[in-house]
Structure 1
Amino acid sequence: MSSPAVSVPREDRREQEYQRITDQAQSGWRRSFSITGLILVAVILSAWAVGLLDANRMVTGLADIADLLSEMWVPDFTHLNSWWGPLLDSMTMSIAATALAVLLSVPLALLGARNTSPHPAIYWVARLILNVLRSVPELIMAIVFVAAVGFGALPGALALGIHSAGMVGKFFAEAIEHAAEAPVEAARATGAGPAQVILHGILPQVLPQMADVTVYRWEFNFRASVVVGVVGAGGIGFELIAALRTLQYDEVAAILLVILATVTVVDALGGALRKRFQ
């Protein structure tokens, strides 16, 4: 004969449940503490490796920076009128680069999203292309394009646009993959083909996110246009490196202030555009 089932009192069940929850919480805290400790160790080792913990070197560097700042004061705006053209080049470079990035990234994002890619092999190829595009720094691309097409804003726009396509395409693909399934299923239920499903079921959901990412990337591209100008890709960065090479630090300070003011305006305009697209 089988023994009768033994009932556990309600108080014991509550105590067991409490103990189980407590054990899970303690295990989670131990895991989090271990991960945090490993991250902290990695940060300290990295800081030591690059010299951030070298007090003597840091103090000497701060003294040199103070001397440099004293040489940059008072900013010299004598050549201000000659900077408007390069500044406009940087602006147009950033706009053209962002447009090129969007044109390249939209098809790559559709092929690199699991829910829109026609085949797993195509998905992996598209993802590989996006990884390659964003893994090469825009400064290296600018050097290559300057050697290929010469000095000016064109190599800067190509370098920024192609590099940005890798990053923008990744964000676009992630947004597409997180699109809600209900509109997609509704479009398929009406007999829509794959292109129509993408056009009517997915893109309306992700367009605000895509617009937001595009505006952010435009802001980034304007700031990056100063960097690529240093290697001969035109824009205000070219004027900045010319002043640095001739040790005209007061003029460098003036150019930096002009760049700062323009970046502030671009960020404000970008913020207004993002609110518009929300």
Structure 2
Amino acid sequence: MTKLEPRSLHSFSKWESILNTHEQEQRSLGRLLKQGFWGVVAIAVLIASWRLSEISPADFWAGLPRLGNWLTRLWPPDFAELPDFLIATAETLAIAIMGTLTATIAAIPLSLCIARPLSPIPQLAPVLRLLLNLLRGIDTAIFALFFVSIVGLGPFAGVLGVAFHTTGSMAKLYVEVLETLPLEPIEAIEVTGADRLRTFIFAVLPEALPGLIGITLYLWEFNVRSSVILGIVGAGGIGYEVLVSLKLLDFSRLTTILLLILAMVSAIDALSAYGRKQLTLNP
């Protein structure tokens, strides 16, 4: 058997090193070209978005004097219609509560049908996921506008709008909680011959309840804020009074409404944050 001379071994190692270096350079060049391509795409998207959005700093600066004039007219607030505004604010809060409650009732069975360890019909899960994406993709105000044409003007259309949009978001988040549950308690209950209802009550619910409540509180907090604008599309609440004030250019009236909205949203945010904190401290 012929042995390689030291010089031949050295030459072989040298060529191997050159080839490895060349391959690394090729890979680096490929990554650089790929990053450069996506960088160009991102810049093109930003430029197109700027033009399609018709952003005009000149128009903004030209409108600042008008904005300053409006701001000076916001004070003092006009409390003459305060009782009516309080009723409208309570209506907005009621829309958020009932819409969130309805969404919760719908989201629980949907999430149980989609979550992989719990779904009784796994083949149905992809179709239901598409349904959730559709519900989440349509804004609350669009749903409310649609239901105004069906049930007429008023808060009921707002409740339906909130419920349909929130069902999509809530069920998706519920699924994420359910799919991260430990399987041992579920399997232990199933071994005893328990049906799906008992499995859910005794194995799934105790583990998932803190997460589900936290999600529900967060979405309720979000729905309170989103319900404010529903009055603009005729779905009831304080948003309608905002629209009237803007149409009349009655800024003192608008200030009173904005103060009520601020107080309501701040109180709900604090209550929701407190509830979620308690769940964290006492799981």
| Residue correspondence of structure 1 range 1-278 to structure 2 within 5 A | 39=42, 42-52=45-55, 54-278=56-280
Letter in 2 for 1:142: A
Which amino acid counterpart does residue 278 of structure 2 have in structure 1? R
Give the counterpart letter for 1:257 in structure 2.
L
Q: Distance in 1 between matches of 2:196 and 2:2?
A: 61
Q: Which moved more, 1:175-184 or 1:156-165?
A: 175-184
Number of residues of Structure 1 aligned to a counterpart in Structure 2: 263
Relative to structure 1, the CA distance from residue 234 to residue 111 in structure 2 (aligned partners, 3 Å threshold; closer, same or farther) is: same
* Amino acid in structure 1 at the alignment position of 2:165: H
Offset, 1:33 = 8.4
Name stretches of at least 5 consecutive residues in structure 1 with no aligned partner. Answer: 4-15
Q: In structure 2, what residue type is equivalent to 1:49?
A: L
The alpha carbon displacement at 1:142 in A equals: 1.3
Q: Is the 8 A contact 1:156 1:233 kept in 2?
A: yes
Structure number with greater Rg is 2
CA distance in structure 1 between the aligned counterparts of 2:46 and 2:161, rounded to whole angstroms: 32
- 1:40–1:115: structure 2 CA closer, same or farther, 3 Å change rule? farther
Q: CA deviation at 1:255?
A: 0.7
**Offset at residue 150 of structure 1 (A):** 2.2
Single out whichever of 122-131 and 262-271 deviates more from structure 2. Answer: 122-131
How many angstroms apart in 1 are the aligned matches of 2:40 and 2:116?
A: 35
Q: Answer yes or no: is the 8 Å Cα contact 2:190–2:199 preserved in 1.
A: yes
The 1-side partners of 2:167 and 2:201 are apart by 21
CA–CA distance in structure 1, aligned partners of residues 2 and 81 of structure 2: 100
Q: Would the alpha carbon gap of residues 63 and 196 (structure 1) be closer, same or farther in structure 2, given more than 3 Å must change?
A: same
Residue type matched to 1:153 in 2?
P
Runs of 5+ in structure 2 lacking a partner?
A: 4-16
Paired position in structure 2 for 1:8: none
Quote the Cα distance in structure 2 between the aligned partners of 1:198 and 1:35. Answer: 47
Q: Is the 8 A contact 2:138 2:165 kept in 1?
A: yes
1:97–1:157 contact (8 Å) kept in structure 2: yes
Distance across 2 between alignment mates of 1:36 and 1:184: 48
TM-score, length-scaled by structure 1 = 0.81
CA pair 237-55 structure 1, distance change in 2 beyond 3 A: closer
- 1:140 partner amino acid: I
Which amino acid counterpart does residue 51 of structure 1 have in structure 2? Answer: E
Q: Which moved more, 1:189-198 or 1:104-113?
A: 189-198
| Cα distance in structure 2, aligned partners of 1:37 and 1:99 | 46
Shift of 1:192: 3.6
Query: Aligned equivalents of 1:196 and 1:82: distance in 2?
Result: 48
CA distance, structure 2, for counterparts of residue 211 and residue 51 of structure 1: 42
TM-score by length of 2: 0.80
Question: In 2, are the aligned partners of 1:142 and 1:156 still within 8 Å (CA)?
Answer: yes
Q: 1:180 to 1:43 in 2, by over 3 A?
A: farther
Inter-partner Cα distance in structure 1 for 2:46 and 2:199: 46
- Which deviates further from its counterpart, 89-98 or 113-122? 113-122
> 1:103: Cα distance to partner?
0.4
Distance 2:218 2:43 in 1: 31
Contact 2:214–2:276 (8 Å) recurs in 1: yes
Call closer, same or farther: CA 1:111–1:55 in 2, change over 3 Å: same
1:9 maps to which residue?
none
In structure 2, give the amino acid aligned to 1:102. T
Q: Note if contact 1:215-1:274 (Cα within 8 Å) is conserved in structure 2.
A: yes
- Paired with 2:195 and 2:66, the residues of 1 have a C-alpha distance of 65
Instruction: Say if 1:238 and 1:119 are closer, same or farther in 2 by CA, change over 3 A.
Output: same
**Structure 1 residues 184, 61: CA separation in 2 closer, same or farther (over 3 Å shift)?**
farther
Instruction: Report the equivalent of 1:13.
Output: none
* C-alpha distance in 2 between matches for 1:174 and 1:156: 27
SS at match of 1:233: coil
